[in-house]
């Protein structure tokens, strides 16, 4: 199955859906990631703080595909926001992954009280120029955080990976990203343990299209223009989650799912202005 792609603001392409790897670890992670690649995923999402970059690298080598057919994405943790620390952090990621370049690297959280996310961003700008990272982006950035890094460097992130699922559809942040030419990626795209599979807006669309509730939610993500990165350790779910390009939700179905959104819909209170991760 060919996965459609988005063209990023730096000219690179990103698959319309990727594979999330948190909290997979150890041998189980390697086999789950290999099975995801066999199912057709080409974009793998990891982070220093997931503690599984080595496993992602092992899966990339074990899967039998040429390196250039896969896109590997990782993230700089909050404790490494100083410029030199950020440079060292990305080199550390490459070492653990056993790769000589990353396809995408993000600043994981802005941690505004520390106030150094723009330094981390400058480091990514320089690493991209050196060819160590093909595309650079951010995660959990608000409009103010985005504007600051753009103002300070003149370089707009290619991607902003944000919490996005039916209970938190991020109408405003999606519009901000779009206005700035930034591709939205969705973390916890199904809604993780609070996945709204039983909500009538989701269940009715699943019945109408003869697909699962999970496929409806991921199709909603795709039609929003966001790139979801669902995680599953289960090969059947991995395949089902990727199989969302053979049906289309109509406007009413899309609107009904977006209407599940609520102000307190975040999974764990991860407001980027206040929630910090080191």
Ligand X SMILES: NC(=O)c1ccc[n+]([C@@H]2O[C@H](COP(=O)([O-])OP(=O)(O)OC[C@H]3O[C@@H](n4cnc5c(N)ncnc54)[C@H](OP(=O)(O)O)[C@@H]3O)[C@@H](O)[C@H]2O)c1
Q: CB-wise, 61 or 237, nearer to ligand X?
A: 237
Distance (Å, whole) CA 70 – CA 178? 25
Residue 122 CB, nearest approach to ligand X (Å) = 20
Residue 191 CB, nearest approach to ligand X (Å) = 6
Write out the DSSP string of 106-141.
Answer: EE----TTT--HHHHHHHHHHHHHTTSEEEEEEES-
Distance (Å, whole) CA 277 – CA 154? 26
Residue nearest ligand X, Cβ-based = 20
Q: CB-wise, 93 or 161, nearer to ligand X?
A: 161
50: annotated active-site residue: yes
What are the phi and psi torsion angles at 103 (to 5°)? Answer: -80, -30
Strand, helix or coil for residue 275: coil
Please state, in angstroms and as integers, the Cα–Cα distance from residue 2 to each residue in 15, 43, 120, following that order. 9, 13, 35
Residue 215 CB, nearest approach to ligand X (Å) = 7
Binding site for ligand X (CB under 6 A): 20-22, 45, 108, 139-140, 161, 187-192, 214, 229-234, 237, 240-241
Give the contacts of 120 (CB within 8 A, at least 6 positions apart): 76, 80, 81, 82, 83, 86, 107
Residue 81 CB, nearest approach to ligand X (Å) = 15
Q: CB-wise, 130 or 200, nearer to ligand X?
A: 200
Instruction: Choose, from 22, 41, 50, 83, the residue flagged as catalytic.
Output: 50
Sheet hosting strand 71-76, strand order edge to edge: 19-20, 43-45, 71-76, 102-107, 133-139, 159-163, 183-187, 227-228
Q: CB-wise, 8 or 139, nearer to ligand X?
A: 139
Residue 147 CB, nearest approach to ligand X (Å) = 20
Q: CB-wise, 7 or 234, nearer to ligand X?
A: 234
Provide the angle, in degrees to the nearest 10, between the axes of the packed helices 171-180 and 143-153: 20
Enumerate the active-site residues: 50
């Amino acid at each position: 199955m060919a996965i459609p792609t988005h063209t990023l603001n730096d000219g690179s392409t990103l698959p319309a859906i990727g594979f999330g790897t948190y909290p997979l670890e150890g041998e189980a992670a390697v086999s789950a990631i290999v099975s995801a690649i066999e199912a057709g995923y080409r974009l793998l999402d990891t982070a220093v703080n997931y503690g599984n970059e080595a496993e992602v690298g092992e899966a990339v080598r074990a899967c039998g595909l040429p390196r250039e057919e896969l896109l590997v994405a990782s993230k700089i943790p909050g404790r490494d926001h100083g410029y030199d620390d950020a440079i060292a952090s990305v080199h550390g990621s490459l070492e653990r992954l056993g790769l000589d370049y990353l396809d995408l690297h993000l600043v994981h959280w802005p941690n505004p009280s520390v106030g150094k996310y723009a330094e981390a961003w400058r480091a990514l700008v320089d690493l991209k120029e050196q060819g160590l990272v093909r595309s650079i982006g951010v995660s959990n950035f608000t409009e103010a955080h985005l504007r600051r890094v753009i103002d300070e460097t003149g370089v707009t992130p290619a991607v902003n990976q944000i919490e996005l699922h039916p209970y938190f559809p991020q109408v405003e942040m999606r519009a901000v990203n779009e206005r700035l030419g930034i591709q939205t990626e969705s973390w916890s795209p199904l809604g993780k343990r609070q996945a709204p599979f039983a909500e009538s807006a989701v269940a009715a669309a699943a019945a109408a299209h003869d697909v699962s509730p999970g496929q409806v939610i991921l199709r909603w993500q795709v039609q929003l223009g966001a790139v979801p990165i669902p995680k599953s350790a289960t090969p059947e779910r991995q395949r089902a989650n990727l199989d969302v390009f053979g049906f289309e939700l109509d406007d009413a179905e899309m609107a009904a799912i977006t209407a599940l959104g609520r102000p307190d819909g975040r999974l764990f209170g991860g407001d980027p202005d206040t929630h910090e991760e080191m």
